[in-house]
């Protein structure tokens, strides 16, 4: 089966291939008749435009590179879901790359994107990304670069993320309003902006409501279900007194719940628990886990829209346009003491 090009169509109709090209692209200066004839022949010959050739000539690929740490993490796959949806509806395709939280893979991905001449790049950086020359390269090539969720402040690029400070604040405030007074907060060992912001929100909410900030109640470590359990075990053996837990993310909160239940502690009557991220399991466990929703789908759609807006306005200059999405408080059983 030989490949059919616009030349084949042209021959068939005894016109030049440039007329065919114009007809196919719905150029205004082509008569309706010609367009119709061209379309018919194209259909009959089973013609299919070669985007490669078109891209090479026009300098536009209609492809945007999306690089995320891993699709195994629901958060990222959900955002990519949103990005693909709106990009696709606007004629763009997604070239996908996973960095697996490795900076060198991240750099490779960007290199590939650049070689593929993508029309833009949307990224969320790895936890180990400390230098940004690979990202600067994108900017210096005038390729639009946007971030979501995990973005480097030193880069001056547009981004969409959730307001983690506010998330930490409302989670804590909710617990306070439910009557809890000694709220334990589990945060990350490493100084990662999003977790630091949640911590700040926690502290400010306490202060705002006239509660003491007790350093003993701020536990640092790796986040995981296992660590959540560990925290509760250690708290028990240390005789630490608390009546609520705000964990930096849901799996840790889950570990907390598991261990509390194992100790026979009543949730939410004796201890209230709230997580962060609104993982799918939260509404399925017993008691149902309260949490903060990060609007993942929305985040994807928002970056995509921001990208399209900047393309349209031809905003190539890097501006730190930071869009902050509202964190949503999801109150379920684990923290509802009052009615």
Partner DNA sequence: CTGAAAGCGCTAACAC
Partner DNA sequence: GTGTTAGCGCTTTCAG
- CA–CA separation, 36 vs 166, rounded Å? 57
Kindly state the smallest distance separating residue 100's Cβ from a copy of itself, in Å: 8
Binding span for a copy of itself by CB under 8 A among 69-77, 174-182, 235-243, 330-338: 69-77
Give residues with Cβ within 8 angstroms of 247, minimum separation 6: 185, 186, 223, 228, 253, 256, 273, 274, 275, 276
**CB-wise, 37 or 114, nearer to a copy of itself?**
114
**Residue 261 interacting entry, from DNA, a copy of itself, none, C-beta within 5 to 8 Å by type:** a copy of itself
Q: How many Cβ atoms sit within 10 Å of the Cβ of residue 191?
A: 9
| The two three-digit tokens of residue 174, written as one number | 């909710």
Binding span for a copy of itself by CB under 8 A among 12-20, 51-59, 212-220, 325-333: 51-59
Q: Write the interaction track for a copy of itself spanning residues 285-314; mark x where CB under 8 A is met and - where it is not.
A: xx----------x-----------------
- CA–CA separation, 252 vs 246, rounded Å? 10
- Of positions 13, 86, 192, 261, contacts a copy of itself by CB under 8 A: 261
What H or E segment, with its residue span, contains residue 145? strand 145-148
Alpha helices in the chain (DSSP H): 6-13, 17-24, 32-45, 51-58, 74-89, 103-115, 133-140, 164-177, 193-208, 225-238, 250-262, 296-313
* Using rule CB under 8 A, residue 116 touches a copy of itself: yes
Is 275 within 8 Å of 249 (Cβ atoms)?
yes
Give the N- to C-terminal CA distance of the chain in Å, as an integer.
Answer: 71
* Using rule CB under 8 A, residue 266 touches a copy of itself: no
- CA–CA separation, 305 vs 325, rounded Å? 14
Kindly state the smallest distance separating residue 325's Cβ from DNA, in Å: 36
**CB-wise, 45 or 241, nearer to DNA?**
45
**Residue 18 interacting entry, from DNA, a copy of itself, none, C-beta within 5 to 8 Å by type:** DNA
**Residue 22 interacting entry, from a copy of itself, DNA, none, C-beta within 5 to 8 Å by type:** DNA
Kindly state the smallest distance separating residue 134's Cβ from a copy of itself, in Å: 12
Name the site residues for DNA (rule: CB under 7 A): 3, 5-7, 14-19, 21-22, 24-25, 27, 29-31, 33-34, 47, 49-50, 53-54, 56-58
* Using rule CB under 8 A, residue 7 touches a copy of itself: no
- CA–CA separation, 233 vs 221, rounded Å? 14
**CB-wise, 46 or 133, nearer to DNA?**
46
């Amino acid at each position: 089966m030989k490949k059919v090009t616009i030349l084949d169509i042209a021959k068939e109709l005894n016109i030049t291939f440039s007329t065919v090209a114009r007809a196919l692209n719905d150029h205004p200066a082509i008569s309706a008749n010609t367009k119709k004839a061209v379309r018919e022949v194209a259909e009959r010959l089973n013609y299919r435009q070669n985007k490669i050739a078109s891209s090479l000539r026009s300098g536009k690929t209609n492809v945007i590179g999306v690089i995320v740490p891993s699709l195994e993490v629901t958060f990222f796959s959900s955002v990519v879901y949103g990005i693909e949806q709106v990009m696709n509806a606007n004629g763009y395709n997604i070239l996908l790359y996973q960095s697996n939280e490795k900076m060198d893979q991240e750099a490779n991905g960007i290199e590939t994107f650049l070689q593929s001449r993508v029309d833009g790049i949307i990224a969320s950086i790895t936890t180990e990304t400390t230098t940004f020359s690979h990202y600067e390269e994108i900017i210096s090539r005038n390729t639009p670069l946007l971030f979501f969720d995990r973005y480097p402040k030193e880069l001056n690029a547009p981004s969409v993320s959730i307001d983690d400070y506010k998330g930490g604040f409302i989670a804590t405030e909710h617990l306070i309003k439910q009557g809890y007074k000694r709220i334990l907060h589990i945060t990350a060992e490493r100084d990662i902006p999003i977790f630091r912001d949640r911590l700040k929100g926690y502290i400010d909410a306490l202060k705002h409501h006239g509660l003491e900030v007790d350093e003993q109640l701020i536990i640092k470590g790796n986040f995981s279900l296992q660590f959540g359990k560990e925290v509760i075990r250690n708290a028990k053996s240390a005789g630490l007194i608390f009546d609520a837990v705000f964990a930096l993310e849901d799996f840790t909160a889950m570990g907390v719940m598991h261990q509390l239940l194992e100790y026979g502690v009543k949730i939410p009557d004796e201890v209230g628990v709230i997580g962060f991220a609104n993982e799918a399991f939260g509404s399925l466990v017993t008691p149902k886990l309260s949490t903060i929703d990060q609007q993942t789908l929305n985040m994807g759609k928002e970056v995509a829209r921001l990208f399209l807006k900047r393309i349209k306005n031809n905003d190539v200059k890097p501006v730190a346009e930071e869009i902050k999405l509202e964190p949503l408080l999801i109150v379920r059983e684990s923290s509802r003491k009052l009615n």
